[in-house]
Structure formats: structure tokens, C-alpha cells
Chains A and B, each alone.
Chain A
Amino acid sequence: MKPFLSIDKLTQRFPDGNGGELTVFENASFGVKKGEFVVILGHSGCGKSTIMNILAGLADPTSGVVTMDGYEVRGPSLDRGVVFQNYSLLPWLTTLKNVTFGVKARHPEWTKQQVEEHATKFLAMVGLEGDVIHRKPSQLSGGMRQRVSIARAFANHPKLLLLDEPFGALDALTRGTIQDELLKIWGQMEQTVFMITHDIDEAILLADRILLMTNGPHARVAESVDITIPRPRNRTEIVEHPNYYAIRNHLVQFLGKRSKELAGQPTEAGQTNKPETVRIDLTDPAEDPEDKRPALKAVNS
């Protein structure tokens, strides 16, 4: 059976300006399960944002198919909510109106009061209450603006929530608080999330699974790393978990060395680049990170 969201042989090529073609990524294939929080990690230029835009329906791939819930993804849809890095709030609307803008689009049949109550509820979930919600975005801090953007996305209950480096423009302290809020609201909603970041710690804190991309051109999704740290997670406690540094080291190694080594290899036609699943779990006696032979695992389980 196909997973909830399935990406099949996705390829994106752009003209390189000299009459040739630049292959950003090729035959990328992976799936996302319902309710899963998947983070994609990779260097700039590897095509993360392009994958995101294709999933959002804002861009078309050169070839390949994306299906969600049995239907092919074509064009933007309310079923796929997006939180952009630069917040993308409409500056002439107040905070509340920015959220009701989305709610109204989702539920055109609701009364004004229903729409406002729903929006106010979701703004409160990200910690925006009282007078603040009647301010314009220009009167809010960067962190508050991103909260509004998150509230707008969650309020619409999309089947898939796409987060495009949502905390990239925020300072470290603010980022921490909003990550916590995102975790809290995600825990309540069982939302399927696909997120881009280049912050390793953020990825470990939030994700069920991390997809690692090699450098472009000809980038591919090389590995899928399971985050074997139980939820609910907390930024101060997860660092104590035995798996934390093992996973972190693996990610750092990949981004620092292997993403370059694996880069720039054109794939043969028809070949599917399924990511290799990596599971690092020091708490599980069945698995030894040095020796991941499946045979061993089978014997002990």
C-alpha cells in the first residue's frame, strides 16, 4: 500500500542559462505516513525548497508524481497548508484578519462570528491573546509574526502542513520558544508535517524521521534517519538521551562529509533513488550501531 504522501521519481531540471540543463535533483522517491513529522535536511542549493514548492503545488516538477491520500497533487490546495520562511502575512490586515483570511477560505459557509472564534482559538494556542491580535504584522516582532503564520496554517486543518525553514529568520531564543509551541500544537492535532530546515538540533527535536539530501546538482534523498527518542520531547532533556549524540553525530558526519562525497552522481534512467533507512538506537539491546546487519536483528527480536 502506498503511504499517505508519496513522492515518486521526482526530477527537477532548470535551464542553466548556457543552453544546457541543470539537474537539481533526480528520481527522488520517498513517502510520508499520516501523522508523521518529517524533516528534510541538506545544504543550500540541494533543492529542498523546490521539493517544498512542488508539494505545495506552487511549482511543477520536470517529471515525477506526487500523490497524497490517493490523489495526484496538482496545483495549490487548502489541503496542503504552507508556512513560509518570511511569514507571508498580509501587511494591511491585522493579526486576527490574517488568520480569518485563511479560515474564511477553508469554511466559506461559516458565519463571521464562527470564523473569528476559530481564529482567536488558534491564535491563543500559539500564545497570542488580547490586544495583540488587533495589531498589524509590522507592529509585531519576528517571532510573533511567525506564530501568526503557524496559527493560520493549523487553523485550516490541512491534511499536510509544509514548513519552509519557518524559524530561519529568528534568533536562537525565540526559535526555541516557538519550536516548543509548534510541538505542543502538533501534539494536539496529529498533523502530518513536512518541514525544511538546516538546523540539526531543531530537526532532532521535532522530527519522527529526518531525510538527508546530498549536495546538488543531481541531489538525491540519500538517507532516512529515524529519530529514536521518545515523545514528548523537551529541548533540555533530549540532550541527556543516549541516542541524541549518536544521531547528531551521524547527521553532522553526513552534512559535513558524505553529502559532498555522494553529490553529483547522475543516476541511470529508470533508477529510483529510495533513501536508505538508518536506525540508531543505543537503548535497544537488539541493535548495535556499529553492526547493522539485519540478520542479527532478526535473531534477537
Chain B
Amino acid sequence: MGALSINQRAALLSVAMLVVGLLIWEAAIPAQKAAEELTEYERLTGAGSAKAGVPPPSQVIAKAWEQLSNPFYDAGPNDKGIGIQIGYSIYRVLTGYFLAALIAIPFGFLIGMSQVAYKAFNPFIQVLRPISPLAWMPLALFIIGDSEASAIFVIFICSIWPMLINTAFGVAGVREDWVNVARTHELGPIKTAFTVILPAAAPTILTGMRISIGIAWLVIVAAEMLVGGTGIGYYVWNEWNNLDLTSVVFSILMIGVVGMLLDAMFGLLQRRVTYAE
């Protein structure tokens, strides 16, 4: 064991925990009785038909295999492959998210540069920020009138705050010395913004972007359950209506995996702009 690195040991432990967890889960699910074992009374009362229940992992794995081997099939509005559903969700998340970034980062930059603006906007931000993004949904549906656009709007409104606040905070916190370096080198305001303030605030801005993408992914599932039609959130709700818990568990796992990948992407970006003082 001494020869293994910390990472290797951690990986071994993770695998062990996964296996033990899955075994416990599998063992905890009572097997359905075979039809021959039922009494006549039981058969008459319908116990013979398949009962809905939490599926054992073996079934979930089988479902995952089936779904992932053909992720992009489209057999009508209620039967689309998991890849298509996730694709819709990612499209909505990214559209709303980048619209938010487009506004939050330049606006946050301006707020961060001016103490007056920072203090003037702060109360509004503090009130709007804690509002659950789904609370905007009725208003969005009424004003925009389109469920697709409303879902994107909800993503937009939930991802704008962390980016806005972090950008303003990062820009306001840029060390005076670095700004003085720019001033003594006669850099104009635009040049200073791009060559000194942006790189100095980049780690904080990226932190905000990472928080936002996490929140956006959390919110899209709920938003799609409301607006329906397509997307991973709709898929989960649809499978619940079909009482197909295997698919529900499988899609829960997929939501986790996609969320992890999105976060990892921003983590990578964040590491690229982080500097040590």
C-alpha cells in the first residue's frame, strides 16, 4: 500500500465505496415474487402485475446501457433519446447564461470601477438576488408569452447575480498599486481595463461564472418540469408520470454527470487565469 500515491489510494477507496453502496442498494430492494409463487387470491387482486418500485442498480445500469447506446433517437414528442433531452437543456442553459454574462460582466465592471455606482446599485441587487428564479416564471410567461424563451429568461435571471456581484467585487478589489502601475505608464482607461484590471479581477470573475453555471444547471431542471416539452427536466417529470422509476434514477444520474462536466470546464478556465501573488 505504501507504494501507492494519495490519488491512487483515494481512487481505490472511491471504487470500494461505489461497489459496497451498489451492493447494499441491490440487496435492499425486495425481489418481486414470481407469478407461480403467488396464491390465487394474490393473483386475483392484481399482485401479479409488475409493481412500481425503486429499481435496483442492476436495472438502472441496464437502462443506462440501453439509453446511452442510442442517445439521439426521436420517436415522437414523448419518446426522445437522452442525448436530445440533455442537448435541449444545455442549449437553454448556455443561451441564458451567455446572455447574462454579456450583461453582467461589463455592467459589473462599471459598478466595480465607481464606488458611487457600487453603493447605488447594491440595494437593488440585494433585493433581486435572493428571489427564486422560478418565481419569475409566471411573469416571464405572461410578458414573453413563449415557454421556450421563458425558460431561457429564468436561466438568464438566475445566472446574472453571481456574475454581476463577483465582477463588481473583483474589479473594486484590484490593488491600488497595480492601477498605479498603469497610471505611471500612461495607459488610457480602456487599455487599463483590459491589461490590468481584467486580468487582476479574472479569478474572482471566473468564480462568479462558475457559481452561475452551477445555479443555472440546478434551475433548468425545475424550469423544464414547469414548461414541459423537451429537456432533461421534462424527461424526469415525464418518466415519473409513466411511473418508470428506472428512467427517473437514470436521468438523475445524468443530471449529476452533466453538472459535474460543466463545473469542471469552468474549473479548468479558472485555473488558467488564477495567479499567485
Contact = CB atoms under 8 A, between A and B. Distances in A.
A159 interface: no
Interface string A227-244: 000000000000000000
B193 to A, nearest CB: 14
**Interface residues of A, dominant DSSP:** loop
Contacts of B275: 91-92, 136, 138
A102 interface: yes
Contact of B181 (A90, A136, A138): A90
Nearest to B199: A92
A161 B196 CA distance: 22
Contacts of A56: 180, 184
Contacts of B177: 84, 86, 88
B185 A102 contact: yes
A138 B276 contact: yes
B276 A136 contact: yes
B209 interface: no
A101 interface: yes
A76 B178 contact: no
Contacts of A58: 180, 183-184
Contacts of A84: 177, 180
A105 B178 contact: no
Given A88-B178, A90-B178, A136-B276, A81 B184 contact: yes
A178 B276 CA distance: 24
A88 B276 contact: no
A78 B200 contact: no
A147 interface: no
B277 A91 contact: yes
Interface centre among A57, A58, A90 (most CB of B within 10 A): A90
Interface in B173-229: 177-178, 180-181, 183-187, 195-196, 199-200, 202
Given A88-B177, A91-B275, A80 B184 contact: yes
Contacts of A136: 275-276
Contacts of A138: 275-277
Interface string B246-277: 00000000000000000000000000010111
Contacts of B178: 88, 90
A105 B187 CA distance: 7
Contact of B185 (A75, A91, A93, A101): A101
* Chain A interface extent, by class: 20 to 34
Given A90-B178, A90-B196, A92-B200, A82 B276 contact: no
Contacts, number: 56
B256 to A, nearest CB: 34
A90 B174 CA distance: 11
Contacts of B202: 92
A215 to B, nearest CB: 26
B200 A77 contact: no
B186 A78 contact: yes
Given A88-B177, A88-B178, A91-B276, A82 B184 contact: yes
Interface string A48-86: 000000001110000000000000000111101110101
Interface string A162-186: 0000000000000000000000000
A139 to B, nearest CB: 8
Nearest to A87: B177
Interface in A269-292: none
Interface in A7-57: 56-57
Contacts of B196: 90
B200 to A, nearest CB: 7
A86 B178 CA distance: 11
Contacts of A76: 180, 183-184, 186
A76 B186 CA distance: 7
A77 B183 CA distance: 8
Nearest to A58: B180
Interface in A122-165: 136, 138, 156
Interface of B: 177-178, 180-181, 183-187, 195-196, 199-200, 202, 273, 275-277
Interface of A: 56-58, 75-78, 80-82, 84, 86, 88, 90-93, 101-102, 105-106, 136, 138, 156
